[in-house]
Amino acid sequence: MKKNFKPTVEAKKEQLVIDESFSEARKNAIRSANSPLKKSLKTRHLRMIAIGGGIGSGLFVGSGKSLHNGGPAALVIAYSLVGTALFATVHSLGELAVALPVAGSFTTLANRFIDPAWGFAVGWNCCLQWLVNLPLELVTASITIKYWNDTINSDAWVVIFYVILIAINLFGARGYAEAEFIFSSLKVLTISGFCILGIVLNCGGGPTQTFIGGRYWHDPGAFSHGFKGVCSVFVTASFSLGGTEITGVTASETAQPRISFPKATKLIFWKIVIFFVTSLIIVGFLVPYNSDKLMGSGGGATHASPFVIAIENGAVRGLPSVVNTVILFSVLSVGNSAVYAFSRTVCTLAEQGLAPKIFGYIDKSGRPLVGLVAIFIFGLLSFIAASDQQETVFNWLLSLSGLALIFSWLTICMIHIRWRAALKHNGELVENLEFSSGSGIIGSYLAGTFWIVVLILQFWIALWPVGSNTANVISFFQNYLGIIIFIIMYLGYKVVKRDFSLYIKVEDMDIKTGRREVDLELLALEMVEEQARLKALPVWKKIFNFWCN
């Protein structure tokens, strides 16, 4: 990989030497461990990325379609189950990121713990997912603006948002992190405020002074399309919660992963419970699933947010515009994350020889410039915002990466299972890890099984969409093309490399390269001191530390 800067003395000492006798896999692992990406992210950045990252159009806008297709009960069931599986998945990712903070995170570790072909396929699926997300979010942002003014050409707004994202990413990882800190703070405050306001409106404390209670759970009902409706929400919920795994991508640019990742991982619980499940329960109480304003209903306001609809139904003046403003920032936040994640992932693929070498170029400021240029060039597709064919184009673009999230989460669970097997084979104890998954190996097995079930359900929903009893080929390819692309990449790698092994044997797994050195005696002493410190705290602080710190 090309580098045009001189590493510091400390960096030179930490560099792992690549010997010609090493296997190709070993060389790739060392290149990832030696990545010159700057470690500029702090604990506060990682915390806000963990709790606010990924909250965007999926929750604020896409949940409207979920409510219409599934009903309020389906929202609660699907988001709770998906959230539970994601909680276990992110804990597994946290354990891996602390022990092996390598560039590329799980896309890199898949090469070492599962199979190089699987790592290649999942890495490029992630790239496709983020590549498509940028123009999609830019167009969504231009649509959000139409809430206030629909006479200005949408492309004019795209230009403004496009330039803003370029400016943010010129500052490298620190620019991305600071922007996400601000965006995530706004999202956290807004959703928390919405939950409080929603309870007040439901109890009759709004301007209309109308008590709603559970009215909409009885009329029109709790479920919209029965079991199929619930299954459709499983898929949408997975996409809405997407972006949570981006904390793993930041591993190689985090200054203190041992301290930052455990703190950030604990916040995932609150993100799922409060910002997804609780907020959508309140939405289900305030907006009936048969509202013609919801996305997918066929009404006029097909892109209206159910959060905005809920406040409008309560006749609260001014607040709908405030919420819509936050939705705009949330959409830009996801676009910002897409730029960061793509540029880092494709850079790591280049380091491993799985992408053109030019993508591995990193400048003296620690920015993967070629990856940034590539995604911004692809982002020019967002200028079809003013076209009548924008929906058709983006449906097919999304089909290329629609299942990338599920594959990413499934891959994390598989890596964690194989990592634990490798530790056991080498006689290492889980107790000696600086951070271990709160859900353990059982959590990875259960979550991995759940993601496989979601993929199967998606096949059913893709071929026989909600509201239809006949097979729809176009719907199938638009919703399931991602798995076909994944299989082609996986098999293509096997054929080109002539590697037909199914998986890496436990005895051949590399658990050393890029691993943080742990002084077991010092770690044991720190744990004793930490337990003594926690024991002296008052009860409320013990509870706070357990759940949030």
Per-position pLDDT tens, the chain of length 549: 444 434 443 443 344 544 444 455 555 554 444 444 555 566 666 667 767 766 777 788 778 888 988 999 999 999 999 989 998 998 898 888 888 877 667 888 888 899 999 999 998 988 888 888 888 888 778 777 877 877 777 788 888 888 999 988 888 777 777 888 888 888 888 888 999 999 999 998 888 888 998 899 998 989 988 888 888 888 778 877 877 767 656 655 565 666 666 777 777 777 888 888 899 999 999 999 988 888 765 555 545 688 988 998 888 888 888 888 888 888 888 888 888 888 888 888 888 888 898 998 888 877 888 999 999 999 888 887 556 666 666 666 666 666 778 888 999 999 999 999 999 999 888 887 878 888 889 999 999 999 999 889 888 888 888 777 788 888 888 778 888 888 999 999 999 988 888 889 998 888 887 776 666 666 667 667 777 777 777 777 666 666 666
Q: Tokens 């293509």 correspond to what residue?
A: 492
Gyration radius from the chain CA atoms? 23
DSSP structural state of residue 94: H
Which pLDDT does position 4 carry in this prediction?
43
Structure tokens at 278: 């609780």
Whether 61 contacts 326, CB under 8 Å: no
Residue type, 28: N
Cβ atoms within 10 Å of 276's Cβ, excluding its own: 25
**CA 213, CA 315: separation in Å to the nearest integer?**
17
Domains and CATH numbers, the chain: 9-518 (1.20.1740.10)
Closest to 548 in 3D by CA, of 188, 210, 225: 188
Which pLDDT does position 2 carry in this prediction?
41
Closest to 35 in 3D by CA, of 367, 462, 436: 367
Closest to 124 in 3D by CA, of 316, 323, 359, 296: 359
| Dihedral Cα 140, 468, 455, 293, nearest 10 deg | 30
Question: Of all helices (H) and strands (E), which one includes residue 511?
Answer: none
**CA 23, CA 413: separation in Å to the nearest integer?**
26
Closest to 320 in 3D by CA, of 334, 331, 305: 305
**CA 42, CA 176: separation in Å to the nearest integer?**
12
Whether 143 contacts 154, CB under 8 Å: yes
Which pLDDT does position 216 carry in this prediction?
93
Whether 310 contacts 339, CB under 8 Å: no
Region of 118 on the Ramachandran plot (φ > 0 left; ψ -120 to 50 alpha; else beta)? alpha
DSSP structural state of residue 254: B
Q: Tokens 């830019």 correspond to what residue?
A: 138
Q: Which residues of 350-362 are buried (b: 16+ CB within 10 A; e: fewer)?
A: bbbebbeeebbbb
**CA 327, CA 303: separation in Å to the nearest integer?**
12
Q: Is 328 helix (H, G, I), strand (E, B) or coil?
A: helix
**CA 411, CA 24: separation in Å to the nearest integer?**
22
Whether 45 contacts 267, CB under 8 Å: no
Which pLDDT does position 326 carry in this prediction?
85
DSSP structural state of residue 371: H
DSSP structural state of residue 273: I
Structure tokens at 62: 């896409």
**CA 125, CA 117: separation in Å to the nearest integer?**
12
The whole-model pTM stands at: 0.83
Which pLDDT does position 327 carry in this prediction?
83
